Chain A
Amino acid sequence: MAPFVVRRLAGMIAVLFAISVIVFLIFNVIPNSDPAQRMAGKNATPQLIANITEEWGFDEPLPEQYLKTMELIFTGELVSYSSRLDVDEEIRKGLPATASLCIGAAVIWMFFGILFGYLSAMRAGRLTDRVLTALALAGISMPVFLLASVFLYYLTFRVELFPSSGYVPLTENPLDWAYHLILPWTTLAVLFVGFYSRVLRSNMLEAMNEDYVRTARAKGLDERRVMTRHVLRNSLIPIVTLFGLDFAAVIGGGAIITESIFSLGGVGQYAADSISNLDLPPIMAVTLFGAFFVVLFNTVVDIVYAYLDPRIRLEGGRQ
């Protein structure tokens, strides 16, 4: 187990390095405009541009530029020139909202995704299944902003059922916290519920035809036990992997639109605002940290998973 962990971590570091290089290339190398001007954003004075050129090393060879850029980002000295705010600071401020949104949505989508997927598989071909499948398809086809705009208009304006914006910290008022998050949670979860229920349904239908399920029935186990202990259990394994990827991706940046529409003031909204201003430093930082988080999170998940899966834990299964 230990050598596996070490190798996995080493691989992770390699990927993280590659990501940083790519972010560097995207922002500093590939575009066809003056990098200092790009970074300066709006309100760029010649003096500012000169300062930036010096600070970021744009007149130096690429490897030095890379090092300087990384230094800026990781020492928390990255600044947005148009808003004059410290990027790190802003990101940190936005984390609680983003985390609340994503974790809450994740709980919802996993619960309903698994429930609907299970029901669909159990009643495959019948009305329940058809209805759930149709809903799932609609869910995965729905653009986030459509659902959000419909919610905003009908549930916060026409009928003032929910607040239309704002984030209340959990520590301040849990009820209010949840109240403000219900619409965003639902918006974000709908897409994933559809996806996960379909994946689970498909896995379960496949598992139902496996030989070991036939054996379980032949042993005289009752149908419920066969379905939960054998079919569902084995079908959930790929779902767990998928969840790891999606959750990391959502926190890493997938929730941008939801945050901005509901004005939750999280990291995503910070990124969205920066986009409209074409303010590059924040976007750069968010991209880098977002990707980092995905890789870190998935490495941890992989290691935990390897520990749990008997086939891998026992070193690949000796005969």
Chain B
Amino acid sequence: MSKQPADGPKTSGISTESARRPALLEVRGLRVEFATEGGAVQAVDGVSFELGAGEVLAIVGESGSGKSVTAQTILGLTRSHNATIEGSVRLRGQELVDASEAELQKVRGGEVAMVFQDPMTSLNPVYRVGHQIVEAIRAHRRMSDAEARALAIEMLGAVEIPDSERRVDNYPHEFSGGMRQRAMIAMALALEPTVLIADEPTTALDVTIQAQILALLARLNRERNLATILITHDLGVVAEVADRILVMHEGRIVERGSLDEIFYAPKDSYTRRLLGAVVRLDQPPPPKPTSTTGDGPIPSNISTESARRPALLEVRGLVKRFPVRGGLFQRTRGETTAVDEVSLTVARGETLGLVGESGSGKSTLCRAILGLIEPDSGSIRFEGREIAGLPQRRMRPIRGDIQMVFQDPYSSLNPRKRVGQIVGASLRSQDSLADGPKTSGIPTVSARRREGEAPRRQVGELLERVGLSAAHYDRYPHELSGGQRQRVGIARALAVEPRLIVADEPVSALDVTIRAQILDLLAELQDDFDLSYVFVAHDIGVVRHVSDRIAVMHEGKIVEEGPTGGVCERPSHPYTRSLLDAVPIPDPREARARRAIRS
């Protein structure tokens, strides 16, 4: 997929390069405003761009940037009585913004097709997949049922769904996530549209599946000269498939250019921040800051260092099975082994990264370590003491030593409590948990606590320590952003002065720029308070960035473990290799090189 060289530095106006090709889609001055309970929201604020035939245009932005609204407005999907839409969207000269519903219906699916983010909810669960594809076909073409069905089967084959003759009669819930997305793509392509809009098509999928879907989209673009608008927040994805990029922020396009221009010569500060925040897998992680033990910077590939340090947490042969409940009434049909003889070690002051995709058992493992789930067999030793299978009452002292930071900033804080109450509750529980003065941890806070200082002040200090302000004490979770909520979760975990924090996907639900901030925060805190982390994520790039050692988990087992550098540069297990291969590299030249090697 060779691209024409850039014509020189690009300004933020329309690229002259695309002026040479007839524009398939022209968007001019698009504005979309929603009237909501909290006031008017300008979701899209003057967006203009063009899409040429056969090219892949990526629209990159974080949540709230307006990228999805823009895409949906092209097809008129945002029309409603509380939306005000201005500007122009022309498809081959035909104006769409004020087109009638009937005219738009012809365009939708027939000329411009759209694929959405969550394939699980985007298909109607009560109709068969084939039926839904046929429905799309027959809305635009006169075909008999049999002909439409044959076409549907053909399309399912084109998107590499095996056994398409049989699967065409399956229901959506009988497909896996990746398959469902392929089926959505098949449905979108059935009418041979000229434009495909893909709104975060891989965000809800595992890394390995994501790579496959992206490859599929790239192939379809090549083979059918299908102009594609790819909407995403993930710059790595963009580098693999896009020709041109638009960067959106707060409803406006802040920068536009070719792939190379954006990645190698970004002009706007926001673009640069976005690029800077992306964690790159192929570059060595930055050296960690000096630890309080004064050992100097720790190189990422030395294991002897951690071998010297005493083991804080030792897991041996841990097993946890869950009954599989069949259908309607909880009859145990069998068992699935979520955690299958897992062993790992975490030393004082180190970070163990745990990588696994969905279904790998990493969440179950985390909860077992925290004592939230009782394992079926195996041992968990914390500071030499056995804690696996302890009754809840005996677990209480341990609660002050091991804490957890959760993934979902929206569900990890009680919506009915103020920030101060949430963190304060943890602070108060520390009294009943502590066995006596702690030797390490957060000296300043506990010292003052013994002096009987007001909890509000202490909570305030904790909040400031995690990058919030003491005044956030009175706020409710819904008044905070995702990143701020995550900081509250971290403050809550710190309040009990733990030795070990298990962080279960702490940044996966956050925007890229915020991710970097939280990761930095975690690193700082580790340094200041001599914390150890178990850092869990599905993104091996993120894990690599923060961990001293990495363990790779797949279907309940640890398939590979070792120092970060070693595992990432010289993986021994095929699954690890496939994980590393699947990670999209946010560097066009590297991506091209890698593709050249593969083909």
Contact = CB atoms under 8 A, between A and B. Distances in A.
**Whether chain A touches chain B in the assembled complex (some CB pair under 8 Å):** yes
Given A219-B136, A219-B139, A220-B106, A214 B174 contact: no
Interface string A267-282: 0000000000000000
Contacts of A319: 173-176
A310 B121 contact: no
Contacts of B513: none
A212 B124 contact: yes
Given A219-B108, A219-B109, A220-B109, A318 B174 contact: yes
Interface in A101-149: none
B141 to A, nearest CB: 11
A225 B139 contact: yes
B326 interface: yes
Contacts of B113: 218-219
A interface majority secondary structure: helix
A311 B123 contact: no
A315 B326 contact: yes
A214 B327 contact: no
Given A4-B328, A220-B106, A225-B139, A214 B173 contact: no
Interface residues of A, number: 35
A158 B140 CA distance: 60
Interface string A298-316: 0000000010011110111
B139 A221 contact: yes
A45 interface: no
Contacts of A31: none
Given A219-B136, A225-B139, A214 B77 contact: yes
B81 to A, nearest CB: 8
Interface in A189-242: 210-212, 214-223, 225, 229-230, 233-234, 237
A211 B118 contact: yes
Contact of B122 (A11, A211, A316): A211
B22 to A, nearest CB: 24
Nearest to B76: A217
A314 B174 contact: yes
Contacts of B171: 310-311, 314, 317
A7 interface: yes
Contact of A212 (B121, B128, B175): B121
Contact of B123 (A7, A212, A310, A318): A212
B125 A311 contact: yes
A219 B187 contact: yes
B327 A312 contact: yes
B581 interface: no
Contacts of B184: 215
Contact of A218 (B109, B173, B328): B109
Contacts of A220: 105-110, 136, 139-140
A217 B107 contact: no
A222 to B, nearest CB: 6
A316 B174 contact: no
B116 A317 contact: no
B173 A211 contact: no
Interface in B82-132: 101-102, 105-110, 113-114, 116, 118, 121-126, 128
A160 B259 CA distance: 85
Given A306-B328, A310-B126, A218 B121 contact: no
Interface in B155-183: 171, 173-176
Given A214-B116, A214-B122, A234-B124, A4 B101 contact: no
A219 B135 contact: yes
A312 B184 CA distance: 23
Interface string A44-64: 000000000000000000000
Contacts of A223: 101
A11 B331 CA distance: 13
A105 B335 CA distance: 49
A317 B326 CA distance: 9
Interface in A1-50: 3-4, 7-8, 11
B75 interface: yes
Nearest to B111: A220
Contacts of A309: 126
B32 to A, nearest CB: 16
Contacts of B122: 211-212, 214-215
Interface string B134-151: 011001100000000000
Contacts of A217: 77, 108
B556 to A, nearest CB: 16
A8 B171 CA distance: 25
A218 B139 contact: no
B135 A221 contact: yes
A316 B326 contact: yes
Contacts of A237: 126
A234 B121 CA distance: 13
B487 to A, nearest CB: 31
A16 B548 CA distance: 63
Nearest to B109: A220
Contacts of A306: 328
Contacts of A3: 331
Contacts of A317: 171, 173-174
A218 B105 contact: no
A7 B105 contact: no
B49 to A, nearest CB: 20
B116 A215 contact: yes
B114 A218 contact: yes
Contacts of B140: 220
A211 B101 CA distance: 19
Interface in B67-85: 75, 77
A241 to B, nearest CB: 13
Nearest to B327: A316
A316 B332 CA distance: 12
Nearest to A316: B327
Given A211-B118, A311-B171, A218 B123 contact: no
Nearest to A7: B329
A211 B172 CA distance: 14
A273 B513 CA distance: 76
Contacts of B108: 217-220
B123 A215 contact: yes
Contacts of A233: 126
Contacts of A7: 329, 331
Contacts of B75: 218
Contacts of B329: 4, 7-8, 11
Contacts of B101: 222-223
Given A7-B329, A212-B122, 11 more contacts: A11-B329, A211-B116, A215-B123, A218-B114, A220-B107, A220-B108, A220-B109, A233-B126, A312-B328, A317-B171, A319-B175
Interface of B: 75, 77, 101-102, 105-110, 113-114, 116, 118, 121-126, 128, 135-136, 139-140, 171, 173-176, 184, 187, 325-329, 331
Interface of A: 3-4, 7-8, 11, 210-212, 214-223, 225, 229-230, 233-234, 237, 306, 309-312, 314-319
20 contacts: A4-B327, A4-B329, A11-B329, A215-B122, A217-B108, A218-B75, A219-B108, A219-B113, A220-B139, A221-B139, A222-B102, A222-B105, A223-B101, A225-B139, A234-B125, A309-B126, A311-B171, A311-B173, A314-B174, A319-B174
